[in-house]
A and B are shown apart, each in its own frame.
Chain A
Amino acid sequence: MSQALTTLLAQAGNRFDSKTGAISVPIYQTASFGHPALGQSTGFDYSRTVNPTRLVLEETLAKAEGGHKGFAFASGLAAIDAVLHLFQGGDRIIVTEDLYGGTFRLFEKVFRPLGIDAVYVDTSDIAAVRIALKKTGIKALFVESPTNPLLKISDLRAIAEAARAQGVLTIVDNTFLTPVFQRPLALGTDVVVYSATKYLAGHNDVVAGIVVTGNPELSDRIGFYQNAIGGVLGPQDSWLTLRGLKTLPLRLRQQQDNAGVIALWLASHPRVRRVYYPGLPNHPGRTILDREHSGYGGMISFEVDDAARIPSVLAGVKVFTFAESLGGVESLITYPAVQTHADMEPALRERLGINDRLVRLSVGIEDVGELIADLQEVL
């Protein structure tokens, strides 16, 4: 039976424990598993390799993404790190230029010294992607869409097609839209990565990462790295992420509804110079999202008229919390120039538009009228 995503997620893990019938998958807080006899295994030997609680999470996400296999890691960066082990010295990877700061640091400080060259491109410009693909040694594309914090949209189907024509792998960070709104594997890409800390777990109470692979060969390799490097997600956090997934579609729809209202309100505010939200009719990526995906998400960035206003905005909010991270049920406000993108060169940051007037909102599921009243007060 082909189930709706809401059904799949609501029931994730439900019939796992046939011994007791427990509705919630048990938290297998165990390192090792007893063997029935010499040369026999229950299918579970050692929790780094396979843990039943983690397995249910991994299988759920593989199904949700329409992928071959899922892998859960101790953080989003641990997940991306495992994927980047697919490459070796001399390989070049085209990377979305306004990338999450942590991924940027991983590329520059960890993988560049190993000889892997990240080539930064505005991937929302398909012509620029095609030109970059002509460079020698390109083995993969690493695309974030929408990007952080400017919410630029890349045409994943066109990128995947161009990459595949040259035997280049496409990896997509789908943290912002999740399978509820965007399924990159269905558009022809090869690997999906997540910070599950964000929307997937959704309560700002877990740090976790996910990889979903599109074919058995990639699954074998990522599975090998997961077990060999060992940056696995523990059973308690696996279970919490699974618990979070059950309400993912509801949360995300509510967050998107709230974000749409807030973005429109901001766009008409005299002290707001510019609003970045893919659901706004004039957003450059909106047509791609309308064609390929089913939603715009719950993230908004906006520029105020004067950087001097920022400290009082951040200190004055009462419903929003001034904190890093995003995707939780509670609304957060972030200052990218100082928080998420502090590791980026100021000149590059300014050129990309991540200036000192820019703030980012992760819209939660609170009452939207009260979120707007909160912003009204501080603006």
Chain B
Amino acid sequence: MKLQTRLIHSGKDRDPYTGASSIPIYQASTFAQQDPEHLGQYDYARSGNPTREALEQAIATLEGGARGLAFASGMAATSSALMLFSPGDHLVVGRDIYGGTYRVLTTLFKQWKLEATFADSTDAASVENAITPATRALFVETPANPLLSITDLRAMVDIARNHNLLAITDNTFMTPYYQRPLELGFDIVVHSATKFLGGHSDLIAGLAVTRDEALGHRLKAIQNTFGAILGPQDSWLVLRGIKTLGVRMDAQQRSAGLIAQWLLTRPEVKRVYYPGLEQHPGHDTHQAQASGAGAVLSFELHEVATALNLLKRVKLPLMAVSLGGVESILSYPATMSHAAMPKAERLARGISDSLVRLSVGLEAPEDLMADMEAALGK
């Protein structure tokens, strides 16, 4: 079945009892049992909830994985995946990984003696060089935040295979609609479903999908033991969001492409970062592993004051953190997503004080460009 159809008919999205076109929100903590010796499919909602399972089935189908699991946030999904490892294990992690993942690795998991080396994953040799005898996994993200840097997923799979490592990736920016890392050989995909999958900036959720059933079984045991599950209402909303994922992504990407081209023509703009631009570093690699460029772009202004003015004056994009919603969001990495990073380190990575990031929504692109044009003026 094609992906556009799978988005609507993901397997468990109809209610088997009444035929309801929308799976019920099973707002129940426990399930009455028929037989004391043989419990039914559902006993306690932390272990299994039909609404959450419909979502878990949907993401597994879309990513082409064996098992999907839904968590209370993207960080809960990532943290649960990291619990697959033991003290003394070592991970090689993409340098441009999401800041929250960096934080949990360098604080909580470090305390538990899970070691991480951050390597520039856009360069396969850097990743290879960071591997030690204790390395158990690679964890990368592509395109990465905020400079949309591209990691070669197939090269990462080759390295992981050669060294017998698990390959984990955060697929939040692309979603399975554009990029399916499990099909390229990755073992685990994690998502902040808050972003494009939920797509309406109205919930917090995370998802993980495993390529094989054995790994799925282990992660499911962590989900049940640790318990950072997604509630039924939010599970249902993510499922509702997924139904329009394809049409949203297509429209948002179309607008992002137009805006990226337009930004290139603006005298105030020094540089545009968008994987859909031919001159973007890693463009060809991205094209070879994903079917779209997505709807997030960053751009650097010549002047810090212009960046601040833009952020203050725009009327349509919301100045906020997060991305992937139907409404455009303009963010300022220096004080938002990368505030926790030492300034020297941040500047060394190209995240300057005049860099802004735009998550392009469903507004008419002409309206967005007119709004930014007005805000860029003196």
A330 at the interface (CB under 8 A from B): yes
Residues of A contacting B: mostly:
loop
- Provided the pairs A24-B202, A367-B2 are in contact, do residues A251 and B363 lie with their beta carbons within 8 angstroms? no
CB pair A365 B327 closer than 8 Å: no
B138 at the interface (CB under 8 A from A): no
Partner of A323, one of B19, B243, B366, B368: B19
Q: Chain B 231-250 against A: per-residue CB contact (8 Å), 1 yes, 0 no?
A: 00000000010011011101
Stretch at the interface among B169-177, B276-284, B315-323: B315-323
A313 to B315, CA, bound (A): 51
Kindly provide the distance from the CB of B26 to the nearest chain A CB, expressed in whole angstroms: 15
Kindly provide the distance from the CB of B50 to the nearest chain A CB, expressed in whole angstroms: 16
Q: Which residue of B lies closest to A24 (CB)?
A: B202
Q: Chain A 340-379 against B: per-residue CB contact (8 Å), 1 yes, 0 no?
A: 0000000000000000000000001111011000000000
Residues of B within 8 A of A251 (CB): 244, 247
CB pair B200 A243 closer than 8 Å: yes
Most chain A CB within 10 A, of B14, B240, B362, is at: B362
Kindly provide the distance from the CB of B328 to the nearest chain A CB, expressed in whole angstroms: 8
Which residues of A from 219 to 263 have beta carbons under 8 Å from B? 243, 246-247, 249-251, 254
CB pair B5 A11 closer than 8 Å: no
A14 to B325, CA, bound (A): 11
B251 at the interface (CB under 8 A from A): yes
Residues of B within 8 A of A254 (CB): 247
Residues of B within 8 A of A249 (CB): 362
Kindly provide the distance from the CB of A55 to the nearest chain B CB, expressed in whole angstroms: 18
B111 at the interface (CB under 8 A from A): no
CB pair B361 A10 closer than 8 Å: yes
- Provided the pairs A4-B364, A243-B200, A246-B326 are in contact, do residues A330 and B247 lie with their beta carbons within 8 angstroms? no
Q: Which residue of B lies closest to A5 (CB)?
A: B364
Q: Which residue of A lies closest to B367 (CB)?
A: A7
CB pair B240 A205 closer than 8 Å: yes
Residues of B within 8 A of A250 (CB): 244, 247-248, 250-251, 362
CB pair B8 A243 closer than 8 Å: no
Partner of A365, one of B4, B320, B361: B4
B79 at the interface (CB under 8 A from A): no
B1 at the interface (CB under 8 A from A): yes
A305 to B270, CA, bound (A): 65
CB pair B315 A203 closer than 8 Å: no
A4 to B94, CA, bound (A): 40
Kindly provide the distance from the CB of B359 to the nearest chain A CB, expressed in whole angstroms: 11
A328 at the interface (CB under 8 A from B): yes
Residues of A within 8 A of B363 (CB): 3-4, 6-7, 10-11
B21 at the interface (CB under 8 A from A): yes
Which residues of A from 261 to 297 have beta carbons under 8 Å from B? none
CB pair B4 A11 closer than 8 Å: no
CB pair A10 B362 closer than 8 Å: yes
Residues of B within 8 A of A185 (CB): none
Residues of B within 8 A of A205 (CB): 21-22, 240
A41 at the interface (CB under 8 A from B): no
- Provided the pairs A6-B362, A6-B363, A205-B21 are in contact, do residues A319 and B5 lie with their beta carbons within 8 angstroms? yes
Q: Chain A 1-33 against B: per-residue CB contact (8 Å), 1 yes, 0 no?
A: 101101101110011000001011000000000
Residues of A within 8 A of B21 (CB): 204-205, 321, 323, 325, 328, 330, 332
B9 at the interface (CB under 8 A from A): yes
B201 at the interface (CB under 8 A from A): yes
Q: Which residue of A lies closest to B201 (CB)?
A: A23
A168 to B335, CA, bound (A): 60
A307 to B367, CA, bound (A): 51
Residues of A within 8 A of B320 (CB): 21, 23
A212 at the interface (CB under 8 A from B): no
CB pair A247 B247 closer than 8 Å: yes
CB pair A365 B2 closer than 8 Å: no
CB pair A329 B243 closer than 8 Å: yes
Which residues of A from 295 to 347 have beta carbons under 8 Å from B? 319, 321, 323, 325, 328-330, 332
Partner of B9, one of A246, A247, A319: A319
- Provided the pairs A1-B315, A205-B240, A329-B8 are in contact, do residues A365 and B246 lie with their beta carbons within 8 angstroms? yes
CB pair A247 B244 closer than 8 Å: yes
- Provided the pairs A7-B364, A321-B14 are in contact, do residues A203 and B248 lie with their beta carbons within 8 angstroms? no
Residues of A within 8 A of B362 (CB): 6, 9-10, 246-247, 249-250
A247 to B251, CA, bound (A): 10
Q: Which residue of B lies closest to A247 (CB)?
A: B244
Residues of B within 8 A of A247 (CB): 244, 247-248, 326, 362
22 A/B residue pairs, CB under 8 Å, sorted by A? A1-B315, A6-B362, A6-B363, A7-B364, A10-B363, A11-B327, A23-B322, A203-B240, A205-B21, A205-B22, A246-B200, A247-B247, A247-B326, A250-B247, A319-B5, A323-B19, A328-B21, A329-B244, A365-B247, A366-B7, A366-B8, A367-B1
Task: Give chain A's interface residues, CB within 8 Å of chain B.
Answer: 1, 3-4, 6-7, 9-11, 14-15, 21, 23-24, 203-205, 243, 246-247, 249-251, 254, 319, 321, 323, 325, 328-330, 332, 364-367, 369-370
Apart from A3-B363, A329-B243, A330-B21, what are 16 other A-B pairs with CB-CB below 8 Å? A4-B364, A6-B363, A7-B316, A7-B363, A7-B367, A10-B327, A10-B361, A10-B362, A203-B22, A204-B22, A205-B240, A243-B202, A319-B5, A330-B9, A366-B5, A370-B2
